[in-house]
A and B are shown apart, each in its own frame.
Chain A
Amino acid sequence: MSLTIDAPPPPADSAIRRLARVMPGIALLGIVGYAGKIAEQSIAAYGRAHHMTLPNIEYVLWAIIFGLIVSNTVGVPAVCEAGIETYEFWLKIGIVLLGVRFLLGDVARLGGVSLLCVVVELAVSIAVMTALGRAFRLPPKLTSLLAIGASICGVSAIIAAKGAIEADDEDASYAIAAILALGAVSLVVFPVVGHALGMSDHAYGLWVGLAVDNTAEATAAGAIYSETAGRFAVLAKTTRNATIGFVVLGYALYWVRRGAATEVANKASFLWAKFPKFVLGFVAVSLVATLGAFTRGEAADIANLSRWAFLFTFAGIGLRTNLRTIARQGWRPLAVGVAGECAIAILTLAMIAGAAQRFLD
């Protein structure tokens, strides 16, 4: 019997080459993020030295601002672009590691509260976005993408849905640009509203986790408020992300019925394929921590590693936001987005106000 292996061996340096390609961008993420951290510390030190009470602006906001300045003035060097796209990878590592700060009981309890709010939020945001899309005469598939982006989790949901409902590239990039523009606005608006209403860290975190679409921006909008708010934002957002498969499947089936998408052969494997696996990692780390596997010191180390991972993410938010590209997208999808998001933000705020008294504090 002869054994032939006809698949050509992969080039030995492919992994190294890939690493080399992303390294410059990762370095830039680190530099911009760390500059944000230095800015926060320097301002605090200056205030202490001069006995002044300066507003504590979290490094999160500085990292995003520095990133925005680089990307919208000198521009991100082409050699760094591939590495900057890894910002979502760092986000996921940060979320998995953050599991150490949650007891599984809290995850179940708050996840349950979030899930209840998510179900209502999903129904309302899909209805609002669909109605607005029709009113503004957007193409129907673009409306679907905007509704999915606004109801679940921004960019990754749009990308997951794009394939499933066979939407155009142009519609997808339109929807992504609108969601990202709104994410940038929410970084400013949510903390201001939260402070104006005197919201608790828990309630505020849950609110941004439910209302801000993209996971990176939701995490940042929470962390700008306070560290606890950031943790709760991640928990609420992660719950919302876990529903991505169901909503995308629903839309896929809708477009199949209208004869504008291919049949979904196996619904269970479709759901599994679309499920964000890092959510499992987050729950697993929380389970291990709940079982008492980590000493106090180890848990603190893991939580600090999570902070470093988020630092790279926040730098990436600023670095990949190009205000000119957003301006070029036209006003109609943006108008639909703004109107829809305002409705969703107000609705979720009302839900949190109701839930806060019962479950949070």
Chain B
Amino acid sequence: MTLSRDWLAVIAAALLILLVKLGIASGVPW
């Protein structure tokens, strides 16, 4: 089974949120 791009995007977003939660990606500039 291949994951759709939709699910991949959801997983990628979840990983990014996890990085923020763990403090690895804190203080993201804009």
**Which residues from chain A sit less than 8 Å from chain B, CB to CB?**
88-89, 92-93, 96-97, 100, 276-278, 280-281, 284-285, 294, 297-298, 300-302, 304-305, 307-308
Contact = CB atoms under 8 A, between A and B. Distances in A.
A359 to B, nearest CB: 28
B20 A301 contact: yes
B1 interface: no
Contact of B25 (A88, A100, A277, A305): A305
A140 to B, nearest CB: 29
Given A285-B13, A302-B17, A305-B20, A277 B28 contact: no
Interface string B3-25: 01111111011101100110001
B28 A304 contact: yes
A356 B8 CA distance: 36
Contacts of A278: 6, 9-10
Interface residues of B, number: 20
Instruction: Give the 10 A-B CB pairs with smallest separation, nearest first.
Output: A92-B9, A281-B10, A96-B13, A277-B6, A304-B28, A301-B28, A304-B30, A301-B20, A278-B6, A93-B9
Nearest to A298: B20
> Which of B5, B8, B13, B26 is the most central at the interface, judged by chain A CB atoms within 10 Å of its CB?
B13
Nearest to A279: B6
A281 B30 contact: no
B13 A276 contact: no
Contacts of B8: 89
Contacts of B30: 304, 307-308
A92 to B, nearest CB: 4
A277 B4 contact: yes
